[in-house]
Amino acid sequence: MFRKEVIKLMVEMYQTYDYCWMGYPITEDNYITYHHINEYRKSKPKFSTIENGALLSKDAHNHLNSLEHFYPELYHEFNYFFKIINEMKCPVTPEMRAIMQSLVTRMNEALATKKKSRRKQRYIK
């Protein structure tokens, strides 16, 4: 299936209308995107599947991709919970939202720490 078709099916299945799976608001400028839980490869064209996807807003997706390089353990933790949501095949539960919020808080702290250390490095040079 094409990615747009998969996104449409997932939005209906998971009722992801106002907030993405990471809790970011969905707006016209912060639209929904498809995150590949397992890395996308051009050699595997059927990789855009419901089971391999997570519905993230554009901003959430950008933040998550930053984690992949600097904090891979936390990145994999998010993907683990995305897989659980897919296994449930129902809208994100309040319990899962609480877990996601906790992960987002950790992500924001980690990325803020990374930014501070980059600023210090600029001044040292």
Residue of higher predicted confidence among 40 and 51: 51
**Amino acid of residue 106:** R
pTM for the full predicted model: 0.85
Contact of 19 with 63, CB cutoff 8 Å:
no
Contact of 47 with 36, CB cutoff 8 Å:
yes
Q: Which of 50, 48, 64, 46 is nearest to 16 (CA)?
A: 50
Measured in whole angstroms, the distance separating CA 71 from the mean position of its chain's CA atoms is 14
Q: What is the pLDDT of residues 15-49, one digit of tens each?
A: 999 999 999 999 999 999 999 998 766 555 556 89
